[in-house]
Chain A
Amino acid sequence: MGLFSAMLVFWASMLVIFVMLNRGIWVFTDVSKSMSMFMLEKALGPAADFAEGRKGSGAKAWIIQGALWLIPASTLTFCGLWLSHDPVALHSLSSWGLNPTSSSLIMAGNLTTFYGSVGMLMIGAALHIVPSLGATSLASEKNASLMSFVWTLSVLVLIIGSNNPEVFGIKLLLVATALHTLSLMAVIVNMLLTAASRTRKMALPAWLIIIGLISDPLSIVVLAVAGVLDSGTGQWLAVRFAVGGFFFMQAAGISLFAASRGTGNPLWSRSLAAVTMLGAILTINPMGYTDGSIAADLLGIDPASLEPTRNDIIAGSFLMALAAIPIIALSANILATMRGDDVFMENPDYPGMPEINLGAFMLLPLGIGALFVQTDHLTGTNELGGISSTLVIMVAWLVMVPLALGSSLSIFPEASGRNVLSVSRSRWAYWAMAGGAFSGLIITMMSDFADMSLAEAAVESETTIGNRLRVLGSVLFYGTVIGAVLHCLNMISGSFRGSLIGELSTPSSTSISSPFKLTEETTVRKILAQREGKLDTVVVPESNSESPGKPTEL
């Protein structure tokens, strides 16, 4: 079965899932609900008592652990970048039986970033968003809290497995996949039960999250049923499905919600949100790994080389080019939502907003860049293969981490009941993390280009320019580690000592010196934009009058 046929099966199964989500499973709906609820809590036995069932505890557990994973993720990536110019820097670890290489550390760093940090932060935010949009409560807070530790265990196994794939004949990456699938299935059931108990129509971000979660296991089942999982094309497609479904759709859902909630602006366009969801399902997302062998490693099957047919290349390239539509739609929708519908006035002090801004801004250049690299890889040209590793790290640290972390930071106060300890520290952490990732990775990419050019020109002498740039790139990337530490300190201290939500702002009443004439319906935003008031101005209407035709005086 070719690439397009596998896509057709995937689309059909997604349609079936969507219909079942809205219609239920015929007469089995009630039985499946009660059975699922039993499996989530009672079936766990005494284990369920280890976790508290307080409202928001599930989301908080996932968000804090996701933030903590940022430190090993950035450290492993930093060490991987360093070893690319100084391969023997960590040779003293060989006395402990460890022989890390640049590629193994970067792979471990990427897996920790995607599954440890981004995955946990997204699920944590989702556990708050879905009940919030459905005006209900999470089906099982206890199960959500417990599963966060299973997921953390799976990430730990992932890190060990990426350096030492087999221990006593057991494939560690497969064990990690099994653990993370177990945890993911519990989260999906929890989300579905929550969605089933909704008391109002849920907005699109919630559906983006739920369908994104379901698409992860579903895509693997579809590829296995289609019989392409052992082929290079199938494995490449498995990576694309994971990026486009689990990561992109969830990131879209949480960042659209957080952009709206954090700035106080309504979602700019519901149509663009729908385009994002439909586009993410119907197209092939080019961001992420170019090689499908990572999927083979995680699924414990033998990696196969990518040998697409002519039709596969045409269909794959076409569907990847179409992925620009949901990417642009998401980026535009987030940025427009953050800026409001009239003037440029974002809320820079609200933690998480700068991160979401950065992620939405970088979506487009990195999405288009990834499109070129993937098309180059799919067609077998491989002229841009030299930058693909750095591009994956850029997608991780300049799109996925900012969107997931930004959304989680803005949701964290509602989930935990307390604000982060210091807004100022949050801002410093943002600059360290964003500045380190942006400058460090851009310079590393410059080095990649220098190496590619020299390799093309068949220069045999040692390439000192590339190495010097790599030194600078890895040192600058260290800012990301500092930012991760600052964010964690801020969140941990905030969850204990942060100001309780709702007690921060104490409005003070001031009078506006000059009367501001209103000739038509307007917003406070517009009044402030015209410099007629201050942010702490409280506008109090004097009285209601039935007399028409006169400008209102403030």
Chain B
Amino acid sequence: MTDGDGALIGEFLQGESEPDSSWILLVLGFVSTLIFLILFSILYPNNDLPVISSVLPVFEGVFDSGIWFFILGIMIGVFAILGTMLTEATSE
């Protein structure tokens, strides 16, 4: 493998060439999800969401306290650290 290939892989793992405006896509995705949920509730009132409504009962009794949202945040943080470790270690 040449040095150029290594640099490309490093770039891929670090995501350093990502355009600055890429966050717009994330926001668009979030907004369109919200719009879909609102539309669904208007068009099919009292109907359960397909697939999601059958998955959610699995978590019944777990997310019954606000602490779980904070724990979810901590888990995201921990995975961010693990991800950083992996990408930093493999990029060199």
Residues in chain A within 8 A of chain B (CB atoms)? 68, 71, 75, 78-79, 82-83, 86, 88-90, 92, 475, 478, 481-482, 485, 488-489, 492-493, 495-497
Contacts and interface: CB of A to CB of B under 8 A. Distances in A.
Contacts of A485: 74, 77-78, 80-81
Nearest to B63: A92
B67 A496 contact: no
Given A71-B74, A78-B70, A489-B80, A92 B62 contact: yes
Interface string B69-87: 0110110011011001100
B65 interface: yes
Looking at B74, B78, B80, the one whose CB has the most chain A CB atoms below 10 A away is B74
Contacts of A475: 70
Q: Which 7 A-B pairs have the closest CB atoms?
A: A485-B77, A89-B65, A496-B88, A89-B67, A92-B62, A82-B67, A92-B61
Contacts of B71: 75, 79
Contacts of A92: 61-62, 64
Given A82-B70, A485-B74, 7 more contacts: A71-B74, A71-B78, A78-B70, A89-B65, A90-B65, A489-B81, A489-B84
Contacts of A90: 65, 67
Contacts of B74: 71, 75, 481, 485
A90 B64 CA distance: 9
A496 B80 contact: no
B92 A496 contact: yes
Given A75-B74, A497-B88, A68 B81 contact: yes
B89 interface: yes
Given A92-B62, A497-B88, A86 B67 contact: yes
Contacts of A75: 71, 74
Given A71-B74, A78-B70, A492 B65 contact: no
Nearest to A478: B70
Contacts of B70: 78, 82, 475, 478, 481
B35 to A, nearest CB: 30
22 contacts: A71-B77, A71-B78, A71-B81, A78-B70, A79-B67, A86-B66, A86-B67, A88-B65, A89-B65, A90-B65, A92-B61, A92-B62, A485-B78, A488-B81, A489-B80, A489-B81, A489-B84, A492-B81, A492-B84, A492-B88, A493-B84, A493-B88
Given A92-B62, A489-B84, A493-B88, A482 B67 contact: no
Size range of the interface on B? 20 to 34
B91 A482 contact: no
A79 B65 CA distance: 12
B64 to A, nearest CB: 7
B85 A492 contact: yes
A79 B74 CA distance: 11
B78 to A, nearest CB: 6
Contacts of A497: 88
A493 B83 CA distance: 11
A88 B64 CA distance: 10
B31 to A, nearest CB: 26
Contacts of A481: 70, 73-74, 77
A52 to B, nearest CB: 15
Given A86-B67, A89-B67, A482 B77 contact: yes
Contact of B65 (A86, A482, A488, A496): A86
Contacts of A489: 80-81, 84
Contacts of B73: 478, 481-482
Contacts of A492: 81, 84-85, 88
Interface in B43-71: 61-62, 64-67, 70-71
B82 to A, nearest CB: 10
Nearest to A485: B77
A485 B78 CA distance: 7
Nearest to A495: B88
Nearest to A471: B66
A86 B68 CA distance: 12
Contacts of A79: 67, 71
A478 B91 CA distance: 32
Contacts of A83: 67
A438 B71 CA distance: 21
Contacts of B85: 492
Nearest to B65: A89
Contacts of B65: 86, 88-90
Contacts of A68: 81
A493 B85 CA distance: 8
Contacts of B78: 71, 485
Contacts of B77: 71, 481-482, 485
Contacts of B62: 92
A194 to B, nearest CB: 30
B57 to A, nearest CB: 14
A489 B78 CA distance: 10
Contacts of A88: 65
Nearest to B83: A489
A60 to B, nearest CB: 14
Contacts of B81: 68, 71, 485, 488-489, 492
A19 to B, nearest CB: 46
Contacts of A496: 88-89, 91-92
Contacts of B64: 92
Nearest to B85: A492
A78 B77 CA distance: 15
Nearest to B78: A71
